[in-house]
A and B are shown apart, each in its own frame.
Chain A
Amino acid sequence: MVDVGMTLEMVEASQMGMKAIGAALAVGLTGLASGIAEMTVGSAAVGATAENRDVFGLVLLLTVIPETIVIFGLVVALLLLF
């Protein structure tokens, strides 16, 4: 940090920005991944429910299982930000 005349505040601000970008990537990318995973589970779940209404509760649950991915992303983002 010797050259180009950056002050300490500027460095800190850009570090904050980097953290925010990191957090956004953590949530955003894992969100996409969860979405793709839930897409497959969800369509199978709807099919199964159409065949037999009794499995609704169970398949609703199976549908949220991939949500763990985005929750880990959210946890990482929260740890980055706070």
Chain B
Amino acid sequence: MLRPEEMLRLLIAAPKGEIDIIIKELYRHNVYHIEDFVPESEYEELSIGHPLPGASDAAATLIKVRAIENACGINPDKVEIAEKIPVSKVRAMIKTDLPAIQKQVEDLVATRSRLEACRKEHEQRARELEPFVAIPLDLELYRGYERFTVFVGHISHDVSIDVPHEKYFSDRVDGNVIVVVVPNEHREEVERTLLDARFQAIPVPNETGSPADRLKAHIDKVEEASRGIAEVDQKLTEIRDGYTNFLVACDELLTADVERAEAPLRFATTEETFISEGWVPADQADRIRAALEKVTDGRIYIEELEIDDPSRVPVEYKNPSFASPTQLLIDLYARPQYSEIDPTLMVAIVFPIFFGMILGDVGYGAILLVTSLGLRRIVKGEGGTMLLRVLGYASVSSIIFGILYSEIFGSSLKIPWFTGWIEVPALFFNRHLNIGTASGHAPQIIELMVLAIWIGVLHITLGRILGLVNARMFHRGKHATKAAIANLGWLGTMWGILLMIWAFYAIPLMPDLTGLPVVAMGLNAAALLGAVLLVAGILGIAQENPLELVELPTIISHVLSYTRLVAVGLSSVAIAMVVNYIAIGMIIEPQLEAITLSGVIMIIMGILVLLMGHALNTALGLIGGGLHSIRLHYVEFFTKFYKGGGKKYNPFGMKLKFTTEE
């Protein structure tokens, strides 16, 4: 919590003869993050290792398996895990079954591409023939003349030709079609006449017989090819249904084989030994050390090295399970560095509260909760699931705030009681606006805004305190003290300004310090203290870096930025109330007084408006609530202390999904 997983830096050295078994053991444990070896000139005797034998075979087979998966439309990420196949069985099947499947799939794919080419060709021919069907001439009559010229083409309208000729025209085809046969000596003038009518020549297909028959023949061919393709697809589907589990198991096994075989490329080797450096979580170190010593019979040297540069340590989150989905939001910004505070837990708690404050509505919260639960069945993959869990927590918070605000779809909550429906008063502050016929308690906007500012002040204060803690981690010696004082300076300036405001103005929900006795220069004690804090704070900021003073206005703008918790929320309440007023107050209710046929249509329209409006507002609420809540974290909170940029912990190994070691 608040810190990433503790890592140990291990150095493993062993004779080359053990490399195989060590790699296998490391891969099985899936905890060792390999630090890639970079050859340096000062250790010339060390060089990059060579892949294990069998690497290229495994890679070649893997490519075949991937090709089959591709042809059958199998995506291993989306395959449901049916049963885990033992590794030995998969290996045996790769030898016995895979070549046959590969042959079958290759043949099918070849047949399909041949059929597709054939279909394309006949489609093209059929398209070329289409215009000729309208002309009662066989195809061989269009060519082979010495003394005549034949014009065939599309034309905008029929034309009359003054020279001796034979002409066919049809407007039954798209773009019309005209065929004109003239003696060669009149060719040019006829061509001019035709071109005036926007004549466009088309090629005459190199076929014989009646165009209609030929067209039918081509269409039959196209249909035949389509049937063939459907058959091939059917067969591929059968293969997919029959072998999906085997193929994804092959994929997984071979991927693991290739990764294992290529691991020596990340190690340093001498003639007889290899050396690898890497990271393991501290609580796993003893287990992996014992396991390695056991499999090699002690022919291995493992040493724990000192961590000299914290920025090189891979970072793995360590959070309680309810907070782990929020890691997605942190990764979106940047993974924390090894030495700094991991803010995931704080975001996991505060983000849903912000979301609820913005979209506090029982109805919208319930819709989002049901959506997130429903989508969890459909959406696979880690990122999607995590996002849906974040949304789930946020929508529960939205329901809770909905009860506190007494809001359901923009109107107030009502519960059935013996005397009828009674309205529940807002337990918290009320956000009901005076729109339409809605009950007109005045919204407590000032109170809500002051509350939001309080949240901002406290959130930023928390951020600065974390910054104070982090200052020790990022800087050493004198600079650490300077950075710490600068953080205190920012805190002092903010609270100094607050104290001065309190000393001059009475604000609801905030301490009223206007009544304190005047001490000096017309300032009372609070104002004086505030002024001292302010000046001391500014000096504190300036001693680290005077340029930072340019950022002073952000103290006010960042705090005021938290008023979005109220403003964005109110805009969503306003949209909901307006939708209710238009749909119910203006369209449906007047019709209910005397029901007529047109009235029923109007009522249906009113219901549509109601549904559309609330659907739109739910989407807006989700986007507004989610983005603004996370933005308050990224921009206002993280900028106070968070650096990020840690390396992701990526252990050497794989979580077996489809295969199992016996």
Contacts and interface: CB of A to CB of B under 8 A. Distances in A.
B442 interface: yes
A79 B568 contact: no
A58 B644 CA distance: 15
A78 B565 CA distance: 13
Contacts of B566: 75, 78
Given A61-B627, A61-B631, A64-B628, A75 B563 contact: yes
Contact of B449 (A64, A65, A75): A75
B332 A57 contact: yes
Interface stretch (A3-11, A13-21, A41-49, A66-74): A66-74
A78 B443 CA distance: 10
B485 interface: no
Interface in B629-643: 630-631, 634-635
**Binding site secondary structure of chain A:** helix
A50 interface: no
Contact of B561 (A60, A68, A79): A68
B446 interface: yes
Contact of B570 (A65, A72, A78): A78
Given A75-B567, A78-B445, A79-B449, A61 B634 contact: yes
B571 interface: yes
A60 B631 CA distance: 10
B560 interface: yes
B442 A82 contact: yes
B430 to A, nearest CB: 12
Contacts of A65: 631, 635
A74 B567 contact: yes
Contact of B630 (A61, A67, A71, A82): A61
A79 B446 CA distance: 7
B631 A64 contact: yes
B564 interface: yes
Contacts of A68: 557, 561, 564
Contact of B568 (A58, A71, A82): A71
A75 B449 CA distance: 9
Contact of B627 (A64, A79, A82): A64
26 contacts: A57-B332, A58-B333, A61-B332, A61-B630, A61-B631, A61-B634, A64-B627, A65-B631, A65-B635, A68-B564, A71-B561, A71-B564, A71-B567, A71-B568, A72-B560, A72-B563, A74-B570, A75-B560, A75-B566, A75-B567, A78-B445, A78-B449, A78-B566, A78-B567, A79-B445, A82-B446
Listed from nearest, the 3 A-B pairs whose CB atoms lie closest are: A74-B567, A82-B445, A71-B564
Interface of B: 332-333, 442-443, 445-446, 449, 557, 560-561, 563-564, 566-568, 570-571, 627-628, 630-631, 634-635
Given A75-B563, A78-B566, 8 more contacts: A57-B332, A58-B332, A61-B631, A64-B627, A71-B567, A71-B568, A72-B563, A79-B445
